[in-house]
DNA sequence: CCCTGATGTAGACAACGTAAACATAAACTC
DNA sequence: GAGTTTATGTTTACGTTGTCTACATCAGGG
């Protein structure tokens, strides 16, 4: 399909850019990601990316959207298991894609125009809520579950834990213990608590 | 003290820079903070800041350190109250200084050379642990408490909640509910909230 | 076959971080 | 107090970046 062809038109820049961006993102961090370097590595001129992304922020936003989709998928896969399993999947995604996860919740992102963020975020949130099985009036339980995994993800990503807690051997165990401190996780599985 | 004097030497640049940086940080976000603009607004040449900060990262790190000290102070003030009160103070700090809080946990920060981060962070962590009153063997409870407030802070800062949950009127109430889902907060030395 | 729109290129501009060479003023020494 | 040293601020310079504009190239439809 793609041997020599035209040499002028790339074919599927946009995708190539996103793929290259994804790599440098995890290697260099979000701040080390430049459009020009991206173009250079992809073999196009520095102006080319602007045919596919209105701005650097726009590329970042596309990356973040990709991330939300993947996270959504990870959660969907665990939909029919326990709340704990979902939380562990959530944290696993964050730890495997640290820079991407950080980017997804970066305040710099233009969250206004495509409401992709509120959409994907609220979809994940709803998925979580279904799992918590709470009444609609009290979403504090769902929010607590989300906050717990979100916070633990950030702590792990940023390596804020003392060394003795970071033993990768016992990490899954630690995560499970932490998630266990949520009262919802205990009375799990269809139990409705009366307020 | 400072009427005319020399006009050449600023007097206490460093502090002025930090103060100006603090302002622009919350107004423009971390990415909108440039050394040159800072120097401009402070009335010095664009090379001057380098006499006080080795690099932009260095300035950011100084800001973050400042933030950790203030957060530490906020927590120390609530040391003798309930775990919930401490959590609320933590979240209050984060919400009042959103960009600073984000910066404090930014992966871009050079956390290696001055271990200011691990120091301040672990100090706060220890303060928290004292409050949870758990055995040293199991720090999962402490970690859960930290993760919960850290996560909720991020969610509030980034405005990830649906509008109906963001009613500023009911926000303190919501926060309290969320913190209440931590099992440690319940069996806690009979501390009552004082309204 | 030309024309139109999509895509890539080339050049320009301002802003930035950072370093080096220089200027100034304060501190210290005698 | 004169002279030297040191801390602090200025200027100039360089390379990189995001982004805009004018231009080039190509694919597809009338």
Q: How far apart are alpha carbons A12 and A3 in whole angstroms?
A: 14
* A141 neighbors A185 (Cβ within 8 angstroms): no
DSSP state of B165: G
- CA angle, residues A76, B184, A187, in degrees to nearest 5: 45
pLDDT, residue A116, reads 55
Phi-psi category of A7—alpha, beta or left, where left has phi over 0 and alpha has psi -120 to 50? left
Find the nucleotide nearest A36 (Cα to C1′).
Answer: D17
Give φ, ψ of B182 to 5 degrees. Answer: -90, 125
The helix or strand, by DSSP H or E, that contains position A27, with its residue range, turns out to be helix A15-28
The CA-to-CA distance between both ends of chain B, in Å, stands at: 46
* A120 neighbors B160 (Cβ within 8 angstroms): no
* B148 neighbors A147 (Cβ within 8 angstroms): yes
Choose the closest CB to B144 out of A99, A140, A148. Answer: A148
What pairs with residue B182 in β-bridges? A182
Q: Which residues of chain A have pLDDT under 70?
A: 1-6, 8-9, 111-122, 133-137, 185-195
pTM of the model: 0.88
pLDDT in tens, B80-136: 898 899 999 999 999 999 999 999 988 788 766 554 555 666 677 777 777 776 666
% of residues, chain A, pLDDT over 90: 54
Strand C nucleotides, any atom under 7 Å from protein beta carbons: they are: 6-12, 15-21, 24-26
- CA angle, residues A176, A180, A185, in degrees to nearest 5: 120
The more confidently predicted of residues B192 and A50 is A50
Find the nucleotide nearest A6 (Cα to C1′).
Answer: D26
CA of A36 to C1' of D20 (A): 15
The answer to whether the Cα torsion of B119, B146, B151, A68 is positive or negative is: positive
The answer to whether the Cα torsion of A46, A48, A49, A54 is positive or negative is: positive
């Amino acid at each position: 399909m793609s041997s020599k062809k035209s040499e002028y038109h790339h074919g599927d820049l946009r995708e190539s850019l996103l793929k290259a961006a994804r790599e440098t993102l995890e290697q260099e961090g979000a701040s080390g990601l430049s459009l020009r370097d991206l173009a250079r590595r992809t073999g196009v001129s520095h102006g080319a990316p602007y045919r596919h992304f209105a701005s650097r922020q726009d590329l970042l936003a596309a990356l973040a959207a990709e991330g939300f989709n993947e996270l959504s998928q990870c959660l969907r896969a665990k939909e029919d298991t326990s709340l704990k399993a979902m939380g562990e999947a959530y944290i696993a995604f964050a730890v495997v894609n640290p820079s991407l996860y950080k980017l997804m919740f970066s305040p710099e992102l233009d969250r206004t125009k495509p409401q992709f963020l509120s959409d994907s975020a609220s979809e994940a949130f709803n998925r979580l809520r279904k799992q918590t099985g709470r009444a609609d009036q009290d979403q504090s339980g769902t929010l607590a579950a989300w906050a717990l995994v979100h916070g633990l993800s950030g702590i792990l990503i940023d390596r804020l834990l003392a060394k003795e807690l970071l033993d990768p051997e016992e990490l899954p165990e630690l995560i499970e213990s932490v998630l266990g401190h949520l009262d919802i996780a205990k009375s799990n599985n269809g139990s409705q608590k009366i307020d």
